[in-house]
Amino acid sequence: MHWRKSTYSATKGDCVEVSEDGGLVHVRNSLHPGRGTLGLLAPAVADFVAACATGELDDLARARP
């Protein structure tokens, strides 16, 4: 699998990495790549990214305890 991360990632490597494999997008913690991945359907990831881009999920950022 070819893993990639955002160019906005911190220089210490503390971010998530993604890899595409067929219809799945795999997500892993770049600091602990051997601890497993989360596999998500590509359309769900596209919907999530679009919701973030439009600000639809901004209220979640303010909902911290």
Domain boundaries, the chain: 16-61
State what percent of residues in the chain have pLDDT above 90: 55
Enter the pTM of the model. 0.75
Per residue in 12-37, pLDDT (tens digit) is: 667 889 999 999 999 999 889 899 99
Residues, the chain, total? 65
- Strand positions, DSSP E, the chain: 16-21, 24-29, 38-41
Instruction: Give yes or no for residue 9 having a pLDDT over 90.
Output: no
